[in-house]
Amino acid sequence: MAATDLLWRHYPATLTGGRLSQIRESLVNNARLAAFARGYGFDRRLAANLAQTHVSAAAWTKVLGDVFEAYVGALALEDAGTTQRRAEEWLEALWRPLLPGADAFGEEDEAAQDAVKQRAARTFAPSGSGLKAYYEDLAPVVMENKAQQRHTVGFFVKGWEFEGLKLGEGVGQNKKSAKTRAAKDALERVERGDEVLVGLVERVEKYVAEKKTAREEAEKAKEAEA
């Protein structure tokens, strides 16, 4: 509960439950708790040691993790019924330096991400234009730690004379976030005056305008016939 409470207070509400679960796991897994146990010398205070018990390193890590968890639990029980929160305060002091910054996860608001990608699709490859916008991985996924990954994705368009024109590139902690950043990068490149992308957008806008004009003229002709 202490880890969950800390995460809810530390991160914005837009961070997904799945992402919070990943971060929580990185704080409370056996390897992390065992590292805390070693830091406080619990391993030297145990009656048994790795050589005497002939257990694997993984099993010993679990033992140390369990010992640390038991110690914290005993401290919490000792404070029960009082105003003291020594166990929670101690854990928070250990965990806070390990928490990734909220900005490390990019935009976790799915509605906002979808809006950016839809805008990019309309800008570069509107329906019926013969253009198709798509995303491709530009590099293998990098596991920065158990809670953080790095995805690198490119935003492309094909059709007309283009065979996979790269519009933008994005990096994120999940593929959806990386796609959003790639789409946003493409839109920002247009704003910065990228000649190739500006030229494409102008042609797309001309196509959309001509299509709209043709549709309006067809509707007028139909009304005149009626």
Q: What is the CATH number of the domain that holds 6?
A: 1.10.1520.10
Q: What is the pLDDT of residues 135-156, one digit of tens each?
A: 999 999 988 665 568 899 999 9
Structure tokens belonging to residue 198: 């500006």
88 shares a domain with 29: yes
Which strand (E) or helix (H) includes residue 113?
helix 110-124
Which strand (E) or helix (H) includes residue 91?
helix 86-95
Task: Give the whole-angstrom CA distance, residue 124 versus residue 136.
Answer: 16
Q: What is the pLDDT of residues 167-226, one digit of tens each?
A: 999 988 788 889 999 999 999 999 999 999 999 999 999 998 998 888 888 888 888 776
**What does pTM read for this prediction?**
0.56
Q: Which domain holds residue 97?
A: 1-103
**Structural domain ending residue among the three candidates 50, 74, 103:** 103
**Structural domain ending residue among the three candidates 103, 119, 134:** 103
Distances (CA, A) of 55 to 31, 39, 42, 45, 50: 16, 21, 17, 17, 6
For the chain, what is the radius of gyration of the CA atoms?
27
57 shares a domain with 78: yes
Task: Give the whole-angstrom CA distance, residue 221 versus residue 204.
Answer: 26
Number of domains comprising the chain:
2
Distances (CA, A) of 188 to 120, 148, 193, 197: 10, 26, 9, 10
120 shares a domain with 219: yes
